[in-house]
Structure 1
């Protein structure tokens, strides 16, 4: 399936200022519209909306993938390998604790990808991926 649609994702955060610092400052997402209880971010060309909802934060379940326990509820982006490496370096320098350290998943198999998982300050799980060959995104 090919599409030119953009996604819109709304998610809970415990503190708007903290979300601004993490998504805007550390991840590098430009800020869009906002109000006292929500803020839009340009997440690699897509609309990411942080809503103040502290009771909804965090992840609970995991699923086994390639020998790792992946947070079931997560979101992220597929970015270039150079962007992925730069982001991993920024996260390490900021002392972000990885749920799954940056590594190459499915090495030598269809769908080989660089991946990493970490939590935002509200406990939302994020995954960032990179593919040497984007035709492998849905490879079986």
Structure 2
């Protein structure tokens, strides 16, 4: 299978400046190119572009049940190394970010053991950060 890295993702935001501050200062993503309507970020080695899009009235968060929790759909994020995930989770907690799903461990002691957490950016985009105890099990069944 062809493996390509890094990935590129573009997301809509209704307040470009508020999200610029969030991704730069809260998540510590380095800013790249920008214009009046978009900003590039180094999102953990990947290219994330926030694009201005006016807010619409119906932007309710949708979710699917997973492990008894409401996982937001859609969402995006990255798989971090195990140790970095836990440091990053502590960093996010210290900045007062409200979690949609608090950091927790899934499949403890099983194939695919992973840490995961979900929170929203200021425009309501859901982010998931996760880490696998054994990264080689990323796609194991």
Shorter-chain TM range is over 0.9
Residue in 2 that maps onto 1:79: 80
Q: What TM-score comes out, normalization by structure 2 length?
A: 0.92
Question: RMSD of the TM alignment (CA)?
Answer: 1.6
| Aligned match of 1:21 | 21
Tell me, yes or no, if structure 1 residue 105 matches structure 2 residue 106.
yes
> Taking structure 1 as reference, are residues 22 and 67 closer, same or farther at Cα in structure 2, changes over 3 Å only?
same
- Partner of 1:55, secondary structure, is coil
Alpha-carbon distance between aligned partners in 1 of 2:59 and 2:82, rounded to the nearest angstrom: 28
Cα distance in structure 2, aligned partners of 1:59 and 1:119: 12
User: Which moved further from structure 2: 30-39 or 10-19?
Assistant: 10-19
Give the aligned length: 140
| Counterpart for residue 136 of structure 1 | 137
4+ residue runs over 6 A deviation: none
The residue aligned with 2:125 is 124
Structure 2: tracts of 5 or more residues without a match: none
Matched, 1:3 2:30: no
